[in-house]
Every structure is written in C-alpha cells, then in structure tokens.
Amino acid sequence: MLAGIDIGAVSTVSCNTAYQNGVAGIFVSYASTVSGNTAYLNAGDGIQTSSGATVWGNTVRVNTGFGLNLGAQSGYRENVISSNTAGTVTGTGIVNLGSNACNGSTTCP
C-alpha cells in the first residue's frame, strides 16, 4: 500500500488532509517540506520523512504509528501532535525547532 500522499525528493506538501490511509498519511523523500497539513486516523505514521526534511504547522492526531517519524537531519516546529498510538515523535538526529505541542504539552521529544 502507498501513503495517502507520497512525494519525491525536494518537494513541498502543503494544506492537505490525509485521512484513513493504509500506511502513512503523508510520506516525503529527501529535503522536502511538509506544512499546514492535517493527518489523522492513518494505519501508519501521520507524517513520515526521509532525511533533511522540514515539518511545520501541521496537525497530526489519532494515527496508529507515530505522529511524526522523521529522517536524520530533519527539523520540526509549530506542530500539534496528539493521541498517536506509537507516540508523538521519533527519529535519529532530528531537531525540535520549537513551538510544538505534544499530547497537550509544550514539551516534545
């Protein structure tokens, strides 16, 4: 199965709703930007990226996987992440750029 939105490298995904997809709601490849989207009730992660992505201003909730599953050297800011089964945010070498809300708290991983 494919993600609801599955985009290649150096792309922008903006102002979409990814709802009830069989895997990730939104998947982007290397050095892409994901902004202003809503991803909810997906069977995988809400938003999943390869390395070097920027993820900001999204609402990600009630997904079976993580809210955000980010590749190395990715940054995230100004997201609202809540009630995802696997957790809020995961990834190695990622950067919290601030102003995120995770499960009602301003403290995100």
pLDDT digits (tens, 9 = 90+) for 3-38: 899 999 999 999 999 999 999 999 999 999 999 999
Q: Distance from CA of residue 92 to its chain's centroid?
A: 14
**Alpha helices (H) in 8-101, listed in sequence order:** none
Residue 109 maps to a domain = no
Q: Sorting pLDDT into bands at 50, 70 and 90, what band is 109?
A: confident
Question: Burial code of 20-52, b = ≥16 C-beta within 10 A, e = fewer?
Answer: ebebbbbbbbbbbebbebbbbebebbbbbbbbb
Residue 87 included in any domain: yes
Whether 107 is in a domain gets the answer no
Asked whether residue 108 is domain-assigned, the answer is no
- CA–CA distance, 103 with 38 (Å, rounded to integer): 15
Structure tokens at 82: 């809540």
The answer to the question of residue 42 being in a domain is yes
- Report pTM: 0.96
Considering its fold, how many domains does the chain have in total?
A: 1
Parent domain of 98: 5-102
